[in-house]
Structure 1
Amino acid sequence: MDFQIVNVAHPNSIKNTVVFSCFEATDSMANIRRALPPIFEQLSVLSTLKWRGRSLRVFLFGDYELLNKVYGICGCNARYCCVYCLASKKTMQLPIAERGPCLPRNLQNIREHHQLFLEDGARPSRAKDVSYSIVNPSLIPIETDHVIIPTLHISLGVYKKLFDLLERACHDLDVKLFQLRVTSQDHEEGTNFDDQIAAEIQRQNKIQQDLTEKRSALEQAEEELPLYALRNNCDKMDEAFRDTATSVFKLRADIRDLEQDALSAKLTYATGPIASALDRVLHDHKVQRQAYHGKAFVGNHVNKCCEPKLIDALTKVPRKSLKDS
């Protein structure tokens, strides 16, 4: 944990940041309740002090999961997950112009809602219905309007969504390019993309071979059945024709599936020349994505991602890659 004096030119600088507590443990509620109350008591005293006749104003900052815990909210995915107001997740999905008035969340109504939670039997599954998702009392004497918005985590989430949209659009272009080259059987060995084109051509050839065989088998089977048998289901059919009719219906279904499969060219997501070029641009700018967790971006790298230079480089990828292809 650390504190900063914020009414200075560079409040977030290393020189202006003082780390006063460090412990190796998860930020579970048990650990928070054990480690932080003495610090919170000092904060309560600090907020009443004056310096050179001026009152001290204490603000809180941290990641959103921690903020939820210290203000008693049951989780970041709760129906009423906002630290600042009582809007539901459903309301948050609406355009701002369509939302009604929303009450602020504060220390007073957190206490009231926690009491309602206790009176209802303290069942977390009921918190969304009785206590605006409050399941614990607030642990810190700082009003919610003095909580700094966790901009880094918001930036990470927003940028990840925007990048995913760009990557999806690039993949769609790759699929179109892939389909054109498969159709014209235009491929050169040496790249993963060309290997996939060659494999897709083989797959398409196999589909056409299977279609030819099944259509021939269907034609032969249909010749063995009377016309009325082809227009009914197997349950209403003479025993003598049932096995042949079952085979006919299965062949028809198989042919439909193969014809549908032949319409789609299969390309592994984000492996085409356009979408994969996005990662090369990120690498050139020393921006990393996590191998797991949905390939989320790493920490402060998102600040670099929001710079015009990198945005310009990423948005030029489709045009440049298509020219190179």
Structure 2
Amino acid sequence: MAKIKDTYENLEICMSILQPQLENLSSLVWDGQKVVLFLFGDFDFLSKLYGLSGTQGMFPCLWCLAPKSHMRMAQKKEPPQRYLASIRRDFSCFQKYGKGNKKNVSRYHNCLHLPLVNTEPSECAPPYLHILLGIVLKHHRMLEESTHKIDMQIASALDTDFTEIAESVYSYGKNWTRAEQIKEKINFLQSCAILSSSDEERQNFEKDLSSAEQALEEVDFEPLGLVQSAHN
């Protein structure tokens, strides 16, 4: 066992040795059923195995082509899935049209290198840590919501003025979060419009950008009752 960093170059050397073994495993048949090989590991490791530039890229997901800015907001349409063929195609375009310049890799779905495995991303297990964090975060938000309702019931029974202040703070916080999400989307769309490869693509991004800017204007920030009371 070698104590080395899991850079793409080092993984490329390791996988040149391991890949034949993986292919042998995936060709096995047990009890009449073909063995399906699943890969697992931390997200950084998996990203490098599939030639992606990592979590800081505009398209960090291993399984689909959703941009990072869309991952925090519900979307009406499911994003296209990633496949080995699509990764190889995007990498080829990155080399041919992006000149292999890392600054251009986001235009090619962050496909910085060729995949080092022949296993489809759909047969790659999501990292356990990311699943656990998602579950814990969801439960935490549910707990916050429930305890807020209890607080409001108690406050309502004790002090009407305090209830109004608390509701004002809560509403302001939700609107602030919504505004920050839209601002992040606007920044993403502005970048996409600048980096677009055709007039049609740029016009589509500019149309979405206009809608996002309008949505930001519609976010209502009501004055905080707490601040008003403090001045009074």
TM-score by length of 2: 0.56
Which residue matches 1:33?
Answer: 12
Which residue matches 1:117?
Answer: 94
1:64 and 1:139 mapped to 2: Cα distance? 15
Shift of 1:27: 1.3
1:78 and 1:158 mapped to 2: Cα distance? 24
Shift of 1:160: 7.0
- Find 2:67's aligned residue among 88, 96, 112: 88
Structure in which a larger fraction of residues adopt helix: 2
* 1:62 corresponds to 2:41: yes
Shift of 1:45: 2.6
1:161 and 1:103 mapped to 2: Cα distance? 25
Distance verdict in 2 for CA 1:77–1:158, change over 3 Å: farther
* Structure 2 gaps, min length 5: 148-229
Which residue matches 1:187?
Answer: none
Which deviations, in whole Å up to 9, do the C-alpha atoms of 1:93-127 show, x marking residues without a partner?
222xx332311001110110010011020011111
Which residue matches 2:105?
Answer: 127
Within 5 A, what are the aligned runs for 1:180-259? none
Which deviations, in whole Å up to 9, do the C-alpha atoms of 1:272-304 show, x marking residues without a partner?
xxxxxxxxxxxxxxxxxxxxxxxxxxxxxxxxx
1:99 and 1:91 mapped to 2: Cα distance? 11
Which residue matches 1:102?
Answer: 79
Q: Which runs of 4+ in 1 moved over 4 A?
A: 160-166
Say which one has the larger Rg.
1
Shift of 1:29: 1.6
Distance verdict in 2 for CA 1:51–1:136, change over 3 Å: same
Which deviations, in whole Å up to 9, do the C-alpha atoms of 1:106-162 show, x marking residues without a partner?
111011001001102001111111x11101001011111111111223424664797
Contact conserved, 2:8 with 2:51, CA < 8 A, in 1? Answer: no
Within 5 A, what are the aligned runs for 1:5-84? 22-84=1-63
| SS of residue in 2 equivalent to 1:36 | helix
Percent identity between matched residues is 28
* Structure 1 gaps, min length 5: 1-21, 170-262, 264-325
| SS of residue in 2 equivalent to 1:32 | helix
TM-score by length of 1: 0.41
Which residue matches 2:127?
Answer: 150
Matched residue count: 148
Structure with larger RCO (C-alpha < 8 A, sep 6+):
2
1:36 and 1:144 mapped to 2: Cα distance? 16
User: What RMSD over aligned residues (CA atoms) do the two structures have, in Å?
Assistant: 2.8
